[in-house]
Structure 1
Amino acid sequence: MSLALAVLKKGEGRTLKAGGAWIFDNEIGSVTGAFENGDVVMVHDFDGYPMGRGFINMHSKIRIRMLTRNPDQEINEEFFRQRLKDAWEYRKRTVDTGSCRIVFGEADFLPGLVVDKFSDVLVFQCLALGMDRHKEKLLLILKEILAEDGISIRGVYERSDAREREKEGMRKTKGFLGEPFDTFVHIEENGVKYIVDVKDGQKTGFFLDQKYNRLAIQKLCRGARVLDCFTHTGSFALNAGVAGAKSVLGVDASGLAVAQARENAELNGLSDRVEFLEADVFDLLPSLVEKGEKYDVVVLDPPAFTKSRSSIKNAVKGYREINLRGMKLVKDGGFLATCSCSHFMDFELFTKTIREAARNAHVRLRQVEFRTQAPDHPILWAADESYYLKFYVFQVCREK
């Protein structure tokens, strides 16, 4: 059966031609032939030049998500097997695979699919209709690929409960894919033990993208007094504790997250040195500054303050505020680790915002290093949405 054909308008498809994976609704001139939403269609440029094949969804502003640039490539089980095998082989070469992101959507040429591995549990997330229709097949293939390396998966949980699903005309969903299992999963990363709640934790249960950034602060925290803001389930705080910090205070507004962080501290035998406080960081930081508190290391790992271009201005105010307060709490010669996980808060804007905060705090920053997301979240150039995490480490100087 021949595929339906989508033809781009003249002058459109710039992102696609630069290497991106998305074609938006206003870039398409016509679609001919029979299809259902979620089907694979052929894509041609306005002049008939073949651009490849992708999933179409008339409910989504991202009208087509490209799967291949080869117009002759069949999208079948063999295609998905090779894509998944390539993704797994890449992780084996670049990261600790005990717990890692196996598939990162468009950056692994599997648009709309996210798969995280936590020890012997997989968490599946399908954010695109076309990929959602294949999830059972994808799961079976991935289990077979892991089994070839002697990895047995004891359970799979679906976390397709992100708002992006609604933009695709789908309902949010979550639950077991297969037999039920204990959804509190024990993992170890950088020598730190965690209990990951894959059922009700944020996103897929744990933020794997900060793995090596957490490791990077360990050397700065030996013998230090550390403040970890937006600690979630305690990951940066616990890395500081394992590294030999003198004392650590982790802060988060979520009582559920703080309870889990305390449980993680106990799991690592750190309850005597690593404490957690349920509080709003925006309220707490000014009060700590007013009290004259000083820390050797301050970590700022906030949630994304903006998920759209329209709210960037307010996000900039938020990032400037927490960085200004954070810098004032770092003792002279101490260290600030600060990051943004918002794609819309790009590198230039984030850097400018930190520079303004430093000027207002009357400190001089000495950059130790700049980092981004772990390699299991690869950045696909021309797919801007795949580059979202910016992570700076600075030495804060006052009297130099």
Structure 2
Amino acid sequence: MGTAIVTLKKGEGRTLKSGGAWVFDNEIDAITGNYENGADVIVRDFDGYPMGRGFINNASKIRVRMMTRNVDQEIDEEFLRMRVKNAWEYRKKVIDTESCRVIFGEADFLPGLVVDKFTDVLVVQSLALGIDKYKIQIVELLKEIMAEDGIRIRGVYERSDAKVRQQEGMDRIKGFIGEAFDTKVPIVENGVKYMVDVKDGQKTGFFLDQKENRKAVGNLSRGFEVLDCFTHTGSFALNAALGGAVHVTGVDASQLAVNQARENAVLNGVENFVDFVCADVFEYLPALEKEGKKFDLVVLDPPAFTKSRNSIKNAVKGYREINIRGLKLVKDGGYLATCSCSHFMDYERFTETIQQAARSAHKRLRQVEFRTQAPDHPILWAADESYYLKFYIFQVCDEK
């Protein structure tokens, strides 16, 4: 069977031409040749100009995900080894690789694939049909390449259980790739110890993207009383505690997460001055305000309030309300760390929402710093979905 050719409509493919990795269904004029979903195809512009090669899936709005801009490049073992090697070499340059994201989908030119490394365990998430057929091969190549640096991977777990797989016409799956192993994995990040549950934890088990932001909060916390909202397994709270905070309160609605956070506090020997509360943050913060409670530092790390453009208005309300509540609990001259992990809540909208919250709370903000995700989650310009995490630290002053 020859390689099918996807021809774009005239004037379409603007994202692709500016460096992006996706071709949407409504951008395609014609497809010539036979193919099956998940197959490699060649993409050409309306006038026949070669745009590259990727894999196709008629079940997805993202009809083609690009693997290479070279139409003559076969997607073979040599090609995959090059992509994986480049991804690993990049991580070695930019971040502590003890635990890090090794492959970040489109931003590493391996669309739809995520691989996280937790010490000597890999967690794989395959989110697109075309990459699914390569995932085992990519994992084996990654293990070989890491072995060249003396790193032995003792186990691989697949967490391809995200809902987005259903939009690709794929089942949600999870389980071992290769031999079984203990899925509770100890890691150390910024000097903080955690027990990561790669089998049942959220996403791949731990949010590595906040690594540098957690460090920034830790550096700020000496002598502070800290409130960490949406603490999950306690990561910001523990960075604050080991950074010299006098007391930390972490809040999360999940009892499972709170239990894990408490275990992590014991691991780090800070259980005597770190408390974790299982509560709805939206209800808990007004109760603290009624009590007249104030903190030197409030951290807001909520889940994505929107995962689609259709729900942005409600998301803005959620971010505005939580920031108003958080700001009211900061002492005059204290600090607020606040973030959004939804790429639909873009920088401009998130910034405007915080400004609105500050006005409503009658607070003045002095920006200390603005950050994004850690560099092992690189942002590929023109691939908007790769830029999702926005993180501010402000000093908060009363209006007087």
- The TM-score normalised by the length of structure 1 is 0.99
Contact 1:100 1:116 in 2 (8 A): yes
Q: Deviations over 1:309-338 (max 9, x none)?
A: 110000001000010010010000100000
- Provide the residue aligned with 1:325 in structure 2: 325
Q: Residue type of the partner of 2:227?
A: L
* Correspondence list, 1:227-266, <5 A: 227-266=227-266
- Provide the residue aligned with 1:337 in structure 2: 337
- Provide the residue aligned with 1:41 in structure 2: 41
Q: Residue type of the partner of 1:77?
A: E
Distance 2:394 2:191 in 1: 24
- Provide the residue aligned with 2:166 in structure 1: 166
Pairing 1:212–2:219 present: no
- Provide the residue aligned with 1:379 in structure 2: 379
| Distance apart, 1:399 and its partner CA | 5.5
| Distance apart, 1:150 and its partner CA | 0.4
Distance 1:5 1:219 in 2: 54
| Distance apart, 1:36 and its partner CA | 1.0
- Provide the residue aligned with 1:186 in structure 2: 186
Distance 1:150 1:296 in 2: 44
Q: Deviations over 1:366-394 (max 9, x none)?
A: 00000000000000000000000000000
Distance 1:302 1:108 in 2: 27
Distance 2:334 2:270 in 1: 23
Task: Indicate the SS of the match to 1:179.
Answer: coil
Moved over 2 A (4+): none
Distance 2:32 2:58 in 1: 13
Distance 2:345 2:163 in 1: 20
- The TM-score normalised by the length of structure 2 is 0.99
- Provide the residue aligned with 1:392 in structure 2: 392
Pairing 1:59–2:59 present: yes
May I ask how many residue pairs the two structures share in their alignment? 400
Contact 1:120 1:152 in 2 (8 A): yes
Contact 1:112 1:131 in 2 (8 A): yes
Task: Indicate the SS of the match to 1:272.
Answer: coil
| Distance apart, 1:223 and its partner CA | 1.1
Distance 2:396 2:230 in 1: 20
Q: Deviations over 1:247-298 (max 9, x none)?
A: 0000000000000000000000010011100000000011111111000000
Distance 2:388 2:120 in 1: 27
Q: Residue type of the partner of 1:374?
A: A
Q: Deviations over 1:67-102 (max 9, x none)?
A: 111111111000000000000000000000000000
Distance 2:236 2:163 in 1: 27
Distance 2:382 2:219 in 1: 34
- Provide the residue aligned with 2:81 in structure 1: 81
Distance 1:381 1:219 in 2: 30
Contact 2:120 2:152 in 1 (8 A): yes
- Provide the residue aligned with 2:298 in structure 1: 298
Task: Indicate the SS of the match to 1:55.
Answer: strand
- Provide the residue aligned with 1:145 in structure 2: 145
Distance 2:130 2:20 in 1: 18
Distance 2:334 2:89 in 1: 40
5+ residue gaps in structure 1? none
| Distance apart, 1:2 and its partner CA | 3.0
Aligned-residue sequence identity (percent) comes to 74
Distance 2:117 2:212 in 1: 16
Contact 2:2 2:34 in 1 (8 A): no
5+ residue gaps in structure 2? none
Distance 1:292 1:274 in 2: 20
- Provide the residue aligned with 1:288 in structure 2: 288
Distance 1:373 1:139 in 2: 24
Distance 2:7 2:377 in 1: 32
Contact 1:113 1:131 in 2 (8 A): yes
Distance 2:251 2:330 in 1: 16
Q: Deviations over 1:148-174 (max 9, x none)?
A: 000000000000000111011100000
Distance 1:218 1:140 in 2: 37
Distance 1:180 1:71 in 2: 40
Distance 1:394 1:136 in 2: 44
Q: Residue type of the partner of 1:165?
A: R
Distance 2:308 2:343 in 1: 9
Distance 2:123 2:399 in 1: 49
Distance 2:317 2:351 in 1: 13
Contact 1:104 1:113 in 2 (8 A): yes
Distance 2:142 2:243 in 1: 36
- Provide the residue aligned with 1:135 in structure 2: 135
Q: Residue type of the partner of 1:193?
A: K
Distance 1:20 1:37 in 2: 21
Distance 1:270 1:296 in 2: 19
Q: Deviations over 1:10-54 (max 9, x none)?
A: 111111111100001111111111111111001100100000000
Contact 1:332 1:399 in 2 (8 A): no
Q: Residue type of the partner of 1:21?
A: A
